[in-house]
């Protein structure tokens, strides 16, 4: 897509995300051909939708589609399938642990399932779309290989997640060593699929961060203290400037990750987006001050959203620590994107 | 010439001519060493045409995308053939000459800069004029023979080596602020000019004070018209924040890799290594996007302040990590390699001060990009 096509597509997506969320947004996305766009122009489809979704604080099943597209063609019954997301980092990296103790944290994100013979154990999360789908795909580690298993959603134990951001509608998924009656399908693209999901969540973090910055900027211009808008004070201006720098920094890295298609660049971009969003939350809440601490102002929704999104597919903290460990072992910086 | 072809053939040429291009001095060398090395590399690359690509034909260039220039700077820096700061003066000053000097003057002078026959400096800052550039007071008075310049500049990089200076002068009333500034292209051997290098903390006398005492500058050495100096300065600054920064990103990447090569096990905190690497790569990604906007013919503006903030952040992050990982070299080492790490660590402290301080960049971002209104 380029030029007029791209502009029209973005306008349609903006229209959809500003008006709908959840199942209604899924229907709107289906109608405007987002899934076809995901197949033909994933960069445009993912970067535009997820940034808008983050900006509008809405949910959809788009992340399921990104991950499903990433793992390739898995035969599922019908079109109506969700995918189980990896659990949050089960053992957050502590500075005191040694590399050997954390071997499982490696470059590969641990898949949500583990398959022992025909018995499947699942610890993961689902998007708000998962309870609405008849089948769920579980990516699982099985005797040195990665496989996908299709299970009926109704069979999984689901806990609706309230937590920090109830509006995100996550569910916690578990399944304890239960025999499966479908054939596991081998997957060779789990790592790139995770990278694609990291980019999607990265764009969503950017969208939410831009919304927080807009809200703080408007407040700074309207709020009068000492006879002038607080936007006149350099302490306020520099917080907002730093927020924009953090957002643009992460955005530039996301673009680079789309260009070089490296899973390492995607992980760095996700980490920068997560760290940038946390900085945006801190600065914007400080600028919005009292009103930004209430539920009367919408800021809290974006703060909740970014704090949870940062944890999905590796938090800024754990991705950064993992990168550092790899670099200190290999002593070789990642390949650079040429000019 | 396309970038891919340029890259491949330049890389091959640099490999083949490594011996001729390599510095004669060990380690960082003195500033004299670095200047001699810079002149040599510029002459060799100009004579082999590499240095001419990406510059317009009217100043002796061979045309082609600005990306070619950016890649040349990256390749020379990555091979440790030039010090990136002094190399990049060309990227800042040549575009200004091309845009604002009389065509014959630009055609005569720019090739001398590109070929390394001359060094130019940039006379902007004054003792009373740091961040507030529009308040400058170095005075140019109209006489029958030309402009007579009297006043003082400071922080003028490489002035003691320079044959020419792009100089901002006050030609309007003291109250005329940015409207009363005129840019001049001054021969540094003009009677009445005195240069005094400044001893800085990092050990290289890179900056100077320059004193003007009735120095006479012919009228045909005006850059732009009388009173247009502010535009000259404003158009120059984005160049200071584009190609020069791309070259600096290549340098930071190289030094970070060299730190990983030599740091002892356990000397570096993995979380810091990860974060610094992310910042360096993001700076490079941002700077790359800026290079491609320049290539596409876009006018660069205040958004390059984000690039400058990122440079300063990345440079200080890399050398903070150096100070952690090579603490002994930085604090008590006296061999050439240690001296280089120490000098670069100390110079990185200036990254939030020079070229528009960290505070000035954030003021620009707040006013021009976030539209928060004037703060004055």
Q: What is the pLDDT of residues B300-324, one digit of tens each?
A: 999 999 999 999 999 999 999 999 9
For chain B, say whether A81 makes contact (Cβ under 8 Å).
no
User: Can you say how many angstroms the Cα of residue B186 is from the centroid of all Cα atoms in its chain?
Assistant: 19
Residues B50 and B65 in one domain: yes
Catalytic residue among B83, B126, B240, B303: B240
- CATH at residue B332: 1.20.140.10
pLDDT in tens, A246-288: 999 999 999 999 999 999 999 999 999 999 999 999 999 999 9
- CATH at residue B199: 2.40.110.10
Name the band, by pLDDT with cuts 50, 70 and 90, for residue A72: confident
pLDDT in tens, B259-310: 999 999 999 999 999 999 999 999 999 999 999 999 999 999 999 999 999 9
Q: Domain end: B60, B94, B118, which one?
A: B118
Residues B90 and B135 in one domain: no
Q: Cβ–Cβ of B7/A331 closer than 8 Å? A: no
Contact between residue A50 and residue A15 where contact means Cβ atoms under 8 Å apart: no
Mean pLDDT of B250-255: 97
Name the band, by pLDDT with cuts 50, 70 and 90, for residue B27: confident
Task: Locate B138 and state its tokens.
Answer: 């170095």
pLDDT in tens, B73-117: 999 999 999 999 999 999 999 999 999 999 999 999 999 999 999
The pLDDT > 70 percentage for chain A reads 93
- Mark which residues 228-267 of A lie under 8 Å from B by CB: 229, 231-232, 234, 237-238, 240-242, 244-245, 248-250, 252-253, 255-256, 265
Enumerate the residues of chain B whose CB falls inside 8 A of the CB of residue A324.
268-275, 277
Instruction: Confirm whether B234 is domain-assigned.
Output: no
Task: State the helix-helix crossing angle for B243-262 and B229-240, rounded to 10 degrees.
Answer: 30
Give CA torsion, residues B313, B317, B318, B319, to 10 deg: 110
Task: Locate A157 and state its tokens.
Answer: 């134990």
Residue A250 Cα, gap to closest chain B Cα (Å): 7
Please say if the pLDDT value at position A76 is more than 70: no
Q: Say which residue, B322 or B26, is predicted with more confidence.
A: B322
Residues B138 and B167 in one domain: yes
Contact between residue B312 and residue B354 where contact means Cβ atoms under 8 Å apart: no
Q: Cβ–Cβ of B373/A232 closer than 8 Å? A: yes
Residues B130 and B194 in one domain: yes
Residues B311 and B221 in one domain: no
Distances (CA, A) of B81 to A96, A304, B78: 41, 50, 8
Contact between residue B279 and residue B317 where contact means Cβ atoms under 8 Å apart: yes
Mean pLDDT of B27-54: 95
Residues B169 and B92 in one domain: no
**pLDDT for the residue A77:** 52
Residues B67 and B125 in one domain: no
Enumerate the residues of chain A whose CB falls inside 8 A of the CB of residue B70.
339
Task: Locate B270 and state its tokens.
Answer: 């993995």
Residue B17 Cα, gap to closest chain A Cα (Å): 23
pLDDT in tens, A16-38: 999 999 999 999 999 999 999 99
**Nearest residue of B to residue A337, measured between CA atoms:** B285
**pLDDT for the residue A102:** 42
For chain B, say whether A223 makes contact (Cβ under 8 Å).
no
Residue among B65, B261, B282, B313 with most chain A CBs within 10 A, to mutate: B282
Q: Could you give the CA distance from residue A323 to residue A267 in angstroms, rounded to a whole number?
A: 9
Residue A221 Cα, gap to closest chain B Cα (Å): 7
Instruction: Confirm whether B233 is domain-assigned.
Output: no
Write the burial class of residue B178 (CB in 10 Å: 0-12 exposed, 13-18 middle, 19+ buried): middle
**pLDDT for the residue A94:** 47
Domain spans in chain A, listed from the N-terminal domain onward: 3-65, 74-186, 190-330
Q: Cβ–Cβ of B272/A255 closer than 8 Å? A: no
Residues B317 and B301 in one domain: yes
Residues B187 and B69 in one domain: no
Please, what sign has the CA dihedral across residues B334, B339, B341, B347? positive
Name the band, by pLDDT with cuts 50, 70 and 90, for residue A78: low
The number of folded domains in chain B is 3
For B271, which of A95, A221, A332 is closest by C-beta distance? A95
Residues B221 and B249 in one domain: no
Mean pLDDT of B125-149: 94
Which residues, in sequence order, are CB contacts of A45 under 8 Å at separation 6+? Answer: A34, A37, A38
Which residues, in sequence order, are CB contacts of A314 under 8 Å at separation 6+? Answer: A89, A109, A198, A267, A270, A271, A322
**Nearest residue of B to residue A236, measured between CA atoms:** B366
Architecture category of domain A74-186 in CATH: Beta Barrel (2.40)
Please say if the pLDDT value at position A91 is more than 80: no
Task: Locate B47 and state its tokens.
Answer: 């004579």
Instruction: Confirm whether B30 is domain-assigned.
Output: yes
Please say if the pLDDT value at position B166 is more than 70: yes
**pLDDT for the residue B237:** 83
**pLDDT for the residue B321:** 98
Q: Domain end: B64, B89, B118, which one?
A: B118
Task: Locate A111 and state its tokens.
Answer: 């898949």
Nearest to A339 by CA among B43, B332, B276, B294: B294
For B372, which of A221, A242, A271 is closest by C-beta distance? A221
Instruction: Confirm whether B276 is domain-assigned.
Output: yes
User: How many other CB atoms are found less than 10 A from the CB of residue A242?
Assistant: 21
Q: Domain end: B200, B227, B254, which one?
A: B227
Mean pLDDT of B237-256: 92
For chain B, say whether A164 makes contact (Cβ under 8 Å).
no
Mean pLDDT of A128-139: 94
Please say if the pLDDT value at position A79 is more than 90: no
Q: Say which residue, B174 or A242, is predicted with more confidence.
A: A242
Q: CA angle at residue A281 from A276 to A284, to 5 degrees? A: 115
Enumerate the residues of chain A whose CB falls inside 8 A of the CB of residue B375.
232, 234, 237
Instruction: Confirm whether B232 is domain-assigned.
Output: no
Check residue B196 and report its DSSP letter: E
Q: Say which residue, B376 or B191, is predicted with more confidence.
A: B191
**pLDDT for the residue B77:** 96
**pLDDT for the residue A90:** 56
Q: What are phi and psi of A220, to 5 degrees?
A: -60, -35
Mean pLDDT of A134-144: 92
Residue B206 Cα, gap to closest chain A Cα (Å): 30
Name the band, by pLDDT with cuts 50, 70 and 90, for residue B26: confident
Residues B219 and B246 in one domain: no
**pLDDT for the residue A89:** 75
Enumerate the residues of chain B whose CB falls inside 8 A of the CB of residue A256.
281-282, 284-285, 288
Residues B268 and B324 in one domain: yes
Please, what sign has the CA dihedral across residues A46, A47, A52, A53? positive
**Helical (H) or strand (E) element with A33:** none
pLDDT in tens, B215-228: 999 999 999 999 99
Mean pLDDT of A65-89: 84
Please say if the pLDDT value at position A101 is more than 50: no
The pLDDT > 90 percentage for chain B reads 91
Distances (CA, A) of A176 to A110, A114, A121: 17, 10, 5
Please say if the pLDDT value at position A337 is more than 90: yes
Q: Cβ–Cβ of B269/A324 closer than 8 Å? A: yes
Name the band, by pLDDT with cuts 50, 70 and 90, for residue B334: very high
- Residue range of the domain that includes B131: 121-227
Mean pLDDT of A286-296: 97
Enumerate the residues of chain B whose CB falls inside 8 A of the CB of residue A337.
284-285, 288
For chain B, say whether A198 makes contact (Cβ under 8 Å).
no
Q: Cβ–Cβ of A248/B273 closer than 8 Å? A: no
Strands (E), A213-312: 224-225, 228-229
**pLDDT for the residue A139:** 95
Which residues, in sequence order, are CB contacts of A94 under 8 Å at separation 6+? Answer: none
In this structure, the strands spanning A135-142 and A81-83 are parallel
Residue B240 is a catalytic residue: yes
Architecture category of domain A190-330 in CATH: Up-down Bundle (1.20)
Instruction: Confirm whether B235 is domain-assigned.
Output: no
Mean pLDDT of A111-139: 94
Residue A24 Cα, gap to closest chain B Cα (Å): 34
């Amino acid at each position: 897509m380029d030029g007029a096509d791209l502009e029209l597509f973005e306008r349609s997506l903006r229209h959809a995300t500003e008006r709908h969320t959840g199942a209604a947004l899924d229907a709107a996305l289906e109608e405007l051909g987002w899934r076809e766009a995901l197949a033909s122009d994933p960069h445009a489809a993912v970067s535009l939708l997820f940034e808008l979704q983050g900006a509008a604080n809405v949910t959809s099943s788009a992340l399921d589609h990104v991950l499903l597209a990433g793992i390739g063609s898995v035969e599922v019954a019908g079109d109506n399938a969700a995918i189980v997301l990896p659990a949050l980092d089960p053992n957050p990296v502590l500075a005191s642990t040694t590399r050997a103790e954390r071997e499982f944290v490696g470059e590969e994100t641990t898949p949500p399932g583990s398959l022992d013979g025909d018995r499947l154990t699942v610890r993961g999360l689902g998007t708000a779309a998962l309870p609405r789908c008849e089948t769920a795909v579980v990516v699982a580690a099985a005797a040195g290989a990665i496989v996908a298993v299709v299970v009926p959603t109704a069979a999984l134990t689901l806990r609706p997640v309230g937590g920090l951001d109830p509006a995100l509608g996550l569910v916690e998924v578990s399944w304890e060593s239960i025999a499966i009656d479908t054939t596991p399908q081998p997957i060779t693209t789990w790592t790139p699929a995770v990278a694609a999901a990291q980019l999607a969540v990265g764009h969503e973090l950017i969208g939410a961060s831009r919304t927080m910055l807009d809200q703080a900027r408007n407040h700074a211009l309207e709020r009068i203290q000492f006879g002038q808008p607080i936007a006149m004070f350099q302490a306020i201006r520099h917080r907002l400037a730093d927020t924009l720098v953090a957002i643009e920094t992460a955005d530039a890295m996301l673009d680079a990750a789309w260009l070089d298609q490296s899973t390492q660049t995607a992980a760095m971009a996700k980490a920068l987006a997560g760290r940038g969003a946390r900085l945006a939350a801190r600065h914007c809440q400080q600028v919005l001050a009292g009103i930004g601490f209430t539920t009367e102002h919408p800021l809290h929704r974006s703060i909740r959203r970014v704090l949870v999104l940062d944890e999905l597919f590796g938090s800024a903290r754990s991705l950064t620590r993992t990168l550092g460990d790899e670099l200190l072992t290999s002593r070789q910086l990642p390949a650079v994107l040429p000019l | 010439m396309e970038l891919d072809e340029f890259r491949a053939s330049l890389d091959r040429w640099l490999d083949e001519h490594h011996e001729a291009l390599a510095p004669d001095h060990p380690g960082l060398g003195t500033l004299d060493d670095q200047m001699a090395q810079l002149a040599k590399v510029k002459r060799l690359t100009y004579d082999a045409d590499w240095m001419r690509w990406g510059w317009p034909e009217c100043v002796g260039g061979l045309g082609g995308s600005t990306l070619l220039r950016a890649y040349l700077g990256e390749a020379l820096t990555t091979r440790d053939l030039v010090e990136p700061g002094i190399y990049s003066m060309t990227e800042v000053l040549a575009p200004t000459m091309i845009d604002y000097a009389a065509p014959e003057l630009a055609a005569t002078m720019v090739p001398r800069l590109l070929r390394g026959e001359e060094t130019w400096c940039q006379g902007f800052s004054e003792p009373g004029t740091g961040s507030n550039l529009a308040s400058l007071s170095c005075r140019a008075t109209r006489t029958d023979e030309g402009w007579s310049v009297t006043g003082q500049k400071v922080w003028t990089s490489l002035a003691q080596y320079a044959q020419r200076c792009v100089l901002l002068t006050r030609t309007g009333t003291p109250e005329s602020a940015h409207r009363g500034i005129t840019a001049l292209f001054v021969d540094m051997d003009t009677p009445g000019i005195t240069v005094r290098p400044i001893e800085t903390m990092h050990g290289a006398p890179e900056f100077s004070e320059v004193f003007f005492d009735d120095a006479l500058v012919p009228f045909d050495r005006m850059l732009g018209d009388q009173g247009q100096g502010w535009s000259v300065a404003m158009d120059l600054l984005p160049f200071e924040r584009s190609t020069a920064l791309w070259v600096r990103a290549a340098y930071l990447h190289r030094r970070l890799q060299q730190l990983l090569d030599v740091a002892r096990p356990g000397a570096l905190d993995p979380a810091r290594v990860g974060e610094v690497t992310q910042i360096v790569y993001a700076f490079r990604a941002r700077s790359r996007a800026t290079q491609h906007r320049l290539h596409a013919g876009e006018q660069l503006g205040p958004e390059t302040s984000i690039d400058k903030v990122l440079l300063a952040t990345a440079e200080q992050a890399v050398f903070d990590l150096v100070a952690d990982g090579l603490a002994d070299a930085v604090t008590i080492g006296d061999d050439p390699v240690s001296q280089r790490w120490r000098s670069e660590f100390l110079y990185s402290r200036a990254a939030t001060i020079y070229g528009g301080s960290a505070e000035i960049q954030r003021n620009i971002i707040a006013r021009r990009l976030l539209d928060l209104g004037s703060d004055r």
